[in-house]
Amino acid sequence: MTLLTKERPLERLALPPLDKPPEHVAIIMDGNGRWARQRGLPRSAGHRQGTENLRRIIRAAAEFGVRIMTIYAFSTENWSRPRREVRLLMRILEMVIDRELEELNREGVQIRHIGELDGIHERLASKVVDACNYTRHNQRLILNVAFNYGGRDEIVHAVQNVVRAGIAPEEITEATISKHLYTSDLPDPDLIIRTSGEFRLSNFLIWQGAYSEIYTTDTYWPDFGRSAFYEALIEYGNRRRRFGKTDDQIDAEFARQSRIEGRTV
């Protein structure tokens, strides 16, 4: 049985297409442990349910017109969890690759990895590399898996590579750093979602998230299904992104764009 077969019927209700879906959504999938504790289950049950939910959300992202999704699956800080849990999270990634790769590939998902493969068991590391290679031509959805990832770590690596490339200090701009991050060829996330009522970035995409909209919900990750995801995207659509500008400037830009596109304002 694949993860897909457990989808709840209500989750498949038709939802109107989104006017302007975010291009890049990043997700901090938090609350697996609390979901399990609430039910008197071991933490592993929470991670398993969280994995099922991930499957649903990947599908929903493609359905809703999201082009890039970045998920925080294992942070550099997660190594300090009990050894058994670390092993389980590694096993989950391996299992997802073993069992889901063909279907993800069929659905047009391009898998990418961000983070360090150093320190990860060789067998798993090579499965990650193979999965990325296998799906590299897919275009429907780019799925960036942040695994053994830390935002500060990423910036340190970027700076090291800038120095290695011999770039002169006065030539270093924000674009230089962006180009040396794991996400160098991708746009910054438009929206970062964090589940389970926490309000931190926890070292996730700290450079790329400078202007991202942030959406938090009390719902634990295993329960954050298709309709909850849709709601987050609707709320994103109602936000006004100003990138440091004033409301008047944004209104003027909107009116100008509307004139160009022949819309009445």
Q: Would you name the residues annotated as active-site residues?
A: 30, 78
Residue from the set 21, 22, 50, 209 that interacts with ligand FPP by CB under 6 A: 50
Pull the structure tokens for residue 154: 């990423």
Asked if 181 touches ligand FPP (CB under 6 A), the answer is no
| Closer to ligand FPP by Cβ: residue 98 or 251 | 98
Three-state SS for 69?
Answer: strand
| Closer to ligand FPP by Cβ: residue 68 or 93 | 93
Pure H helices in the chain = 32-38, 43-64, 83-106, 122-134, 151-164, 174-179, 226-238, 247-260
Asked if 67 touches ligand FPP (CB under 6 A), the answer is no
* The residue to which tokens 């764009």 are assigned: 257
Q: How many CA atoms lie within 13 A of 242 on its CB side?
A: 8
Asked if 186 touches ligand FPP (CB under 6 A), the answer is no
- The span from the CA of 85 to the CA of 1, in Å, is 24
Asked if 142 touches ligand FPP (CB under 6 A), the answer is no
Residue from the set 3, 21, 24, 31 that interacts with ligand FPP by CB under 6 A: 31
Nearest to 225 by CA among 64, 104, 42: 64
| Closer to ligand FPP by Cβ: residue 135 or 196 | 196
| Closer to ligand FPP by Cβ: residue 3 or 158 | 3
What minimum distance in Å lies between the beta carbon of 77 and ligand FPP? 10
| Residue 72 host element (H or E) | strand 68-75
Query: In this chain, which stretch among 24-32, 112-120, 150-158, 248-256 interacts with ligand FPP, using CB under 6 A?
Result: 24-32
Asked if 135 touches ligand FPP (CB under 6 A), the answer is no
Residue from the set 3, 51, 64, 146 that interacts with ligand FPP by CB under 6 A: 51
R_g of the chain, CA atoms, integer Å:
20
Residue from the set 21, 22, 33, 150 that interacts with ligand FPP by CB under 6 A: 33
Q: Residue count at the site for ligand FPP (CB under 6 A)? A: 17
| Closer to ligand FPP by Cβ: residue 18 or 88 | 88
- The span from the CA of 35 to the CA of 221, in Å, is 8
Nearest to 95 by CA among 71, 134, 127, 53: 127
Helices 83-106 & 43-64, crossing angle to 10 degrees? 30
Residues in 88-117 at the binding interface with ligand FPP, rule: CB under 6 A: 89, 92-93, 96
Residues of the shown chain interacting with ligand FPP in the complex, contacts defined by CB under 6 A = 29-34, 47, 50-51, 54, 73, 78, 89, 92-93, 96, 196
